[in-house]
Chains A and B, each alone.
Chain A
Amino acid sequence: MFSDKFRVLKIFSCILLLIIMGLWNLNNSVEIKLSDCLADPAAYNLTELKIANDAVILNVKYNSFTILSRGNTIPVKITGNQRINESAVGRYISLAAVYHKEGYLEMKKYHVHYFRRIKMLVSVIIAAIISIIFLLNYRFDFKKLVFEEKKCRT
């Protein structure tokens, strides 16, 4: 399993397996997406949707706001006494909502991710630091296709 035998085959098998896993999940997911609803509004009327934290708030009005989710823009009506603050514009949001064939969502539950961009920035910084330390400790031999340890530092 960890020998040099069939190394290239092992690499391509892993890549193939990862692609198959991704495609399997993509095609067999029972999750209803916003794009499905927009493609066939009548069929998905009053369907409950889960929009995870990839949606961004484009603008906020008194009882509605607009989101951009996976390339789709759609207005969201706020029900009950829930309110979205204007400072939420440009922020990420997670949303549980009901789709209406007239082309809007009715909000049920939500959470605005106010600090998601800071979290992403912090994550990028530490990922860069670890990558740099790794490259200082290992060098890639393009002939042998292996990372070789330069010096033990940790």
Chain B
Amino acid sequence: MPDLMTHTCLGLILKKIKPDFFQRTDRLGGILLIFLLGNILPDVSGRVPIIIFPKGALFFSVYHTLAGALIIAYLISVFFERTIRKPVFFILFAGMTFHMVTDLIQKDIFGDGYKIFYPINISIDFGFLWPEDTLFFLPFLLIAVGVLYREIVLEKVRNYFIRSDK
């Protein structure tokens, strides 16, 4: 898995590339936030528990698959208000799927690939980078995000200086 900051940056860049996807519903405010939450969820549900309980690796690894993502997205969406439940589910699932698709760029020494379609035994990966290699691209991704979101960044900086002047 690339680091979550890379996933988040890629999610933010996706929003600029496909803005219409994030404007599909007006019933849900904060679509980007829900998408980014979905973007970090596969690692939070399927990788963090393995770091804490290494012996449960096989138990938790199924939560980092499309089938696991579908159930987790539905489970979380049930905790939202009825009117926004459906868009929350779809946006969360889209975020989780985007995370897993970007995970396909990584490689491992076994060459087994990533069983994204569990329980169907199909493995795929493109095997470009080791999981940690994304850290080297992170500064460039952060610059790209900064440039794409320059209006927000500049506004925050301006507000900060105006506040400190007072």
Q: Which residues of A contact B (CB under 8 A)?
A: 2-4, 7, 10-11, 14-15, 17-18, 21-26, 29, 31, 35, 50, 52-54, 69-71, 94-96, 109-111, 113-116, 118-120, 122-123, 125-127, 130, 133-134, 137-138, 140, 145-149, 151-154
Contacts and interface: CB of A to CB of B under 8 A. Distances in A.
Contact of A54 (B43, B50, B77, B132): B50
Interface string B106-118: 0011101000001
B30 A116 contact: no
Question: Which of B60, B78, B112: most chain A Cβ within 10 A?
Answer: B78
A98 B108 CA distance: 18
A130 B8 contact: yes
B32 interface: yes
B109 A23 contact: no
Interface residues of B, number: 55
Contacts of B84: 149
Given A119-B131, A126-B8, A130-B37, A18 B63 contact: yes
Contacts of A148: 81
B33 A25 contact: no
Contacts of B93: none
Contact of B3 (A119, A138, A149, A154): A119
Contacts of A123: 3-5, 40, 43
